[in-house]
Structure 1
Amino acid sequence: MKFNQILIMATLIVGLSSCSVFKKNTNKEHSTTETMQLKGNKWQLIEVDGKTVPAQVNGRVPFLQFEDDRYAANAGCNTLGGAVNITGKNKIKFEQGISTMMACPEFEIEQALSKNIIAVDTYTIEGEVLSLKKGGKTLAKFTLIKAEKGEQALAGTWELDYVSGPRIAFEGLYPNKKPTISFDLTAKKVSGNSSCNNYNGTFKTENNHISFGPLASTKMACEGSGESVYFSTLEKITSFDVNGNTLTLIMGDIAMMRFQKK
């Protein structure tokens, strides 16, 4: 009799343990799937602080994007970026990182996103909507951006409207003419104007990584340092991001150059 009772108890313990393990594995699988969906896509900001965000802010689509253990976001002006830690049970923590320092007409949405993203502790994904939350309260919402893949998004001609690094204001670097760049995807060549001389060269891409080959240019004498800043910055670029009509060229995780499609 005692032996039968012991056998029954052992069977129940094994069964309960199996249920517990199964439940843990299911949660882990769900978390991994959502993490892959979160990191593998680009998201457009549609709401922050409970307020609807326009489709474009200062002429740009506001977005959030992840790459490895870092994030990049833009609410229509400056690019925000830093480390991000994503763990099980939909836990997420954004660290304050580097931001560009441009002045733009509309700052309210950028300030709200910058403040709220650091406070976030969890996220949910329902269909194509990503919600960032703190203590169950939604601080920001995003919708999935179905973007063009890889280098196909580079096609066309782009005009520079921001460059990082020099202490001289952008308008002082390029008072008369802004630099341009055009991509020929078939020939793997770039061409354009540095604000003074015409140039051409080659480029290589792999996923969103990009590098430029030697650039040849005409030899017209140019005033100021705008041209040298443009060419020296292009040499440092390691990756790119296309968001609607905006092309951002990046060094590591720092947005170095920004172009608008012509």
Structure 2
Amino acid sequence: MRLNFSQIFFFATIMGGLTLGIIDKTLPLLSTNSVQAMEASTSPSLQSTTWYISGWSGSPVPGSAPITLQFKDNRLMGTAGCNSFNGAYTSGEGNLTIDQALATTRKACAAEVMAQEQKFLQLLTQVTAYSIGDDGQLTLTYLKDGEQGSVTFIPASQYNALHNSQWQLVTMAGVEPITNEENSQGIPQIQFLGDRLAGTGGCNRLMGQFTIDGENLTIDERMASTMMACPEPLMNQEQQFIQALVNAQKYQILTSGELVIDYLMADKTEQLVFLPLMVDPQTQG
């Protein structure tokens, strides 16, 4: 039978000083400050961590590079989805100010990635504060046009191969998807960014959250979607696709590049198989 610490202490008190003396040697009591110091040493700090974006209004689109931050001494650096950037910052007691003169490289990527990149870089110069939560995530608070907003990041230790990736469905339960001839995005697609899942079911846009624990994948059943109407076969396929996602169990990325998600349907394990999608660079005028 295993005894917890409170039980050992209780028995030691009853048995007297001899037993308590033994416990003092084998299980030294720690002060509250010592425990807090130990906990703080295992949590990520602003300057010793690479941060990957995980939450931002508008469901950020994955770019050719993940959106990241690094703080070192008084310098800030990272990637904004396409280009790298760097600049100066000051911080103290939860306050954070990032210099407006951020320098960037000059690569060209897809139009939506470039637009998002500019929005993100402008956001950085409007940051006023930061905090690191018990879950290890970094939250930057910014003030834009008099309104407060926030963007969150996960530490590198929580980053996963699925993050900042896009996938297009190849088969669902061994069957190839049907397509929407009137919609070039008719084939179901998903993308992962931080703890956010987005994509299309072949007709409607999908949004939700996911968590990963080793090879286990859990997708929140409270997925949101737009309300467009499409031909019945596509609508049926979309519903099957959503049900497959929220019943996800495990995932693996094969050496050949496919993403395979095992899901449970009617007490039987089926598979979603995806091929990766890449954002194609384009020259900006």
TM-score calculated relative to the size of structure 2 = 0.38
**Structure with the higher fraction of residues in helix conformation:** 1
